């Protein structure tokens, strides 16, 4: 995480934090549990990371149509106007490779969730 934050902070241009909550691994459930039970904690982490790299925007990527989307949307509505960072949710298709790092970056910039 530190290496990624340092790379974003050092990069030229406007920094944006991308948080991956897609959990493409079918056997993993830790992200889903955290997003459903403690959505404010997830948002706090995103805001903290964005503040650390001086980003004004952050994107939380979630699997489309999941309960996590509703929980995060509710938490963001409760916090409306209180955070210094604009956190938006983007729903990603449910495909195993769609949440891989390069696929996610490509999805956010070009709309195609294929890895390099």
Q: Using a pLDDT cut of 90, give the percent of the chain over it.
A: 41
pLDDT at 59: 96
User: What pTM does this model have?
Assistant: 0.87
Dump pLDDT digits (tens) for 57-111: 899 999 888 889 999 999 999 998 888 898 999 998 877 777 788 888 888 888 7
Residues 90, 106 contacting (CB under 8 angstroms): no
Supply the DSSP symbol for 98: G
> In whole angstroms, what separates CA 73 from the centre of its chain?
13
Average pLDDT over the chain reads 87
**CA–CA distance, 50 with 4 (Å, rounded to integer):** 12
Supply the DSSP symbol for 99: G
**CA–CA distance, 12 with 35 (Å, rounded to integer):** 31
pLDDT at 37: 94
pLDDT at 40: 96
Residues 43, 85 contacting (CB under 8 angstroms): no
| pLDDT for residue 25 is more than 80 | no
């Amino acid at each position: 995480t530190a290496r990624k934050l340092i790379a974003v902070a050092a990069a030229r241009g406007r920094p944006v934090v991308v948080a991956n909550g897609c959990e493409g691994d079918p056997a993993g459930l830790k992200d889903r549990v955290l997003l459903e039970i403690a959505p404010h904690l997830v948002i706090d982490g995103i805001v903290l990371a964005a503040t650390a790299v001086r980003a004004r925007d952050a994107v939380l990527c979630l699997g489309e149509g999941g309960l996590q989307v509703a929980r995060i949307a509710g938490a963001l509505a409760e916090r409306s106007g209180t955070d210094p960072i604009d956190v938006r949710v983007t729903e990603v298709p449910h495909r195993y490779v769609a949440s891989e790092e390069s696929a996610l970056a490509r999805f956010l910039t070009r709309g195609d969730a294929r890895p390099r």
